[in-house]
Structure 1
Amino acid sequence: MAVDIYHEGERAARRRAGLLDQGGFSVRAEIPEVARRFLVQQPMVVLGAADADGRMWATLLTGRPGFLRAEDARTVAVDARPVPGDPLRGPLTAPVPVGMLAIEPARHRRMRMNGRAVPTADGLRVTLDQVYSNCPKYIQKREPHRAPGTPGEARHSTALTTGQQRLVAGADTFFIATADRDGNADASHRGGAPGFVQVLSPTVLRWPDYTGNAMFNTLGNLEVEPRAGLLFPDWRTGAVLQLTGTARTDWDPGHAAAVPGAERLVEFTVTAAVEIPGASPLRWSDPVPSRFNPTVTSRTPRPRR
């Protein structure tokens, strides 16, 4: 049975974007058969959740195809845990709301699943409240292969190092975890040409919000709860950079007009960073850029203070 997904923040974001308050989209609580087949083929899933302090984080869970699967119409099993040093390794040992994104870069497919996770002997079992496919426009095509190894020691900081700034500034993909006022978590994808994420300072990032499916899940969450987590994967080495902090949407059309393709801008303030070398055993081919990626220019609005 389809259910209306819009909460107060999503409705507010849609109104600010000039869209009608009602109608258009719904999601299901059950997993369609085609989605079950999709899940069991995947070697990774992005998961977003809050830690004990309420900070949002996004992490990458991996395994051989079959590690992620539907046990029934509303339950997903994940036979994986975050690696040592991951900010969500501890929180996922207890029941917690999670947002998950299964994404297949090689075929430009992705599916979002939100619900409540409980720990199991092999990882997690997630009872779902929301299941829906999503806009694939800005996924860069990549093919994976496995290069198993041991994850390195986690490096913690409260601001981006020079090397981390280079990773972010050169990224064509990142993932974002947010939650609504009630703590219901969500994980989503952002993509664009390298440079679409602007490093305004060691603690301030900005990126354009491009046209998508107009559901405003992420921006709607940010309207009522600014805490967010970002995940930047290093596709070549398997390292991950996890950031937590707060995000705000800049709805000023004049600011968006300065960035090609932007409908609005999002600014993120870093409060903590964790970098884990070799966190993922997956390595990926060089990308084939999405034909939808807007051009990136050096014209950058001044950061808000």
Structure 2
Amino acid sequence: MGIIRAVPDLERVVGKRPLPVMMKSIDHLDPHCRTLLSHSPAAVLGYVDVEGRQRAEMVGGAPGFAVAETKSRLRLPVSADAAPRTGAALLVLVPGWRETLRINGTLDEGGLRVEEAFLHCGKAVIRSNFWDPAAAPEDAVEEGPTLGHAAAAFLATARFAVIASRDGDGRADASPKGDPPGVVRMIGPTTVVLADRPGNRRTDTFHNVVERPDVALVVVAPGDTRTLEIVGKAVISTEAELRESMTERNRTPKAVLKVEIETVRLARSAAVRDAGLWDTARHVDRADLPRPSTIWTDHLKLNEASGVAAKLLRAGVKERLVRAGLDRDYRENL
């Protein structure tokens, strides 16, 4: 079985991270970020608990649950078992919108010290048809070291997941994944796998796992107010049979994330329930939000990366070209 254990091997399989992609991030909360946060009722928070384990949970319940107190500090609800001064990451959901906002930083008292913010493309939301709910097949809860009947049934209907991870220096990330039902596939009571689908091409999770295998997943089945948290150790597999088994839309993933489970928790989520994510009356009017292409254009211009190539990108980026490229990407690379 092929397991990727080094960055050069990873980049030979999935490619290097392009400069234009990396320059879509900024080191503070600009007005675009503040607008999205003001409309968001829920997010997934990846954090480290006091025992040093990677964790992830849905937080929020109403728009404004996360408040930008300054450009570099975000006040938000933090679990009582979260370890202070450790890397944490937030994936922000805006009801009815296909893009997501990612904010990475360090936990401090009652909030997050912001170190990076960027808009994530909408492919995971589109592939999962996230805003179209399905009826929950049951309402059972479950907790333990393995996937039992209730968790397995939940995974069979789930179409969206967020993976929280950290690199070797403790910098955190929370990355969305979306597919038809079974986005996180159970291949045994203690093992799940996720395919690498086309996305924003940052491959943050893979780079992190090469350095630190600890991950936590929050799995969501749209329409179900439960969430499933899976905590474990991950590896990146290039095994041909496994990759081929996860072919979707005639495209076989280049790599698969394989997670060996340590703990499972399927529980009702007050944040999901109170946020009313699938209540169309609460979905945000797109006219109240900036265009994604505008956000990416402005963030590219705000990015302070050095070098001639970065300078040329800042000078040459045009919103209409970004918008055209985005539309084509969504059509051709789902």
* TM above 0.5: yes
1:269 and 2:254 matched:
no
1:194 aligned counterpart, secondary structure: coil
Q: Contact between 1:178 and 1:221, CA under 8 Å: does it hold in 2?
A: yes
Q: Which AA in structure 2 matches 1:125?
A: G
**CA deviation string 1:142-165 (max 9, x = no partner):** 279xxxxxxx99853000111101
TM-score (norm 1): 0.77
Provide the C-alpha distance between the structure 2 equivalents of 1:276 and 1:134, rounded to a whole number of angstroms: 27
Structure 2 partner of 1:63: 61
3-state secondary structure, aligned to 2:265 = strand
Change in CA separation of 1:14 and 1:206 when aligned onto 2, cut-off 3 Å: closer
For 2:17 and 2:333, the matched residues in 1 are separated by 28
What SS does the aligned partner of 2:147 have?
A: coil
TM-score (norm: length of structure 2): 0.71
> Which of 13, 26, 29 in structure 1 is aligned with 2:27?
29
1:19 aligns with 15
Q: Which amino acid in 2 is paired with 1:142?
A: W
- Partners of 1:32 and 1:199 in 2: CA distance: 40
Distance 1:293 1:102 in 2: 23
**Aligned counterpart in structure 2 of residue 106 of structure 1, from 96, 104, 129:** 96
Question: What amino acid does structure 1 have at the position aligned with 2:148?
Answer: T
Name structure 1 gaps, 5 residues minimum: 1-8, 83-88, 145-151, 295-305
Partner of 2:161 in structure 1?
A: 174
Asked whether the equivalents of residues 124 and 199 of structure 2 are also in contact (C-alpha less than 8 Å), the reply is no
Question: Once the 2 structures are TM-superposed, how far is the Cα of residue 18 of structure 1 from its aligned partner?
Answer: 5.4
**Corresponding letter in the other structure for 2:223:** R
1:194–1:41 CA distance, 2 compared to 1 (3 A): same
CA contact (8 A) 1:55 1:227 kept: yes
Q: What is the CA–CA distance in structure 2 between the aligned matches of 1:20 and 1:244, rounded to whole Å?
A: 28
Structure 2 CA distance, aligned partners of 1:284 and 1:31?
Answer: 24
Is the contact made by 1:207 and 1:267 (CA closer than 8 Å) also made in structure 2?
yes
SS of residue matched to 2:270: coil
Could you tell me which amino acid in structure 2 is paired with residue 189 of structure 1? P
- Is 2:105 the partner of 1:129? no
> Does the CA-based 8 Å contact 1:173-1:192 persist in structure 2?
yes
CA–CA separation in structure 1 for the residues paired with 2:262 and 2:15? 33
SS of 1:126's equivalent in the other structure is strand
- Which string of whole-angstrom CA distances, capped at 9 and with x for unpartnered residues, describes residues 156-178 of structure 1? 30001111011112210011110
Name the structure 1 match of 2:212.
225
Q: Which runs of 5+ in 2 are unaligned?
A: 134-138, 281-329
Q: Counting helix residues as a fraction of each chain, which structure ranks higher?
A: 2
Post-superposition Cα deviations, 1:98-122, rounded to whole Å, max 9, x if no partner, equal 1111122511021111111222xxx
**Distance in 2 (alpha carbons) for counterparts of 1:218 and 1:196:** 16
**Quick check: 271-280 or 46-55, which moved more?**
271-280
Q: Secondary structure of the equivalent of 2:205?
A: helix
Which residue of 1 is the match for residue 182 of structure 2?
A: 195
When you count strand as a share of all residues, which structure comes out higher?
1
Structure-2 change in CA distance of 1:75 and 1:81 (3 Å): closer
Q: Residue 106 of structure 2 is aligned with which of 101, 116, 128? A: 116
| Matched-pair contact (CA < 8 Å) for 1:10–1:219 | no
Partner SS, residue 132 of structure 1: strand
Question: In 2 relative to 1, CA 292–207 (structure 1 residues): closer, same or farther, beyond 3 Å?
Answer: farther
Residues 14, 70 of structure 1: alpha-carbon distance in 2 compared, 3 angstrom cutoff: farther
1:63 CA drift (Å) = 2.9
- Contact in 2 for aligned 1:155/1:275 (Cα 8 Å): yes
Q: Which residue of 2 aligns with 1:142?
A: 131
Q: More deviation in 22-31 or 130-139? A: 22-31
Residues in 2 aligned to 1:226 and 1:138: alpha-carbon distance in whole angstroms: 23
Q: 1:111–1:14: structure 2 CA closer, same or farther, 3 Å change rule?
A: farther
Using the aligned pairs only, state the percent identity: 22
Shift of 1:22: 6.8
2:324: which partner in 1?
none
Residue identity in the other structure for 1:116? T
Query: Which SS does the other structure have where 2:122 is aligned?
Result: coil
CA 1:20–1:247: 2 relative to 1, 3 Å = closer
Rate the CA distance shift 1:157–1:254 in 2: closer, same or farther, 3 A: closer
Give the drift of 1:214.
1.4
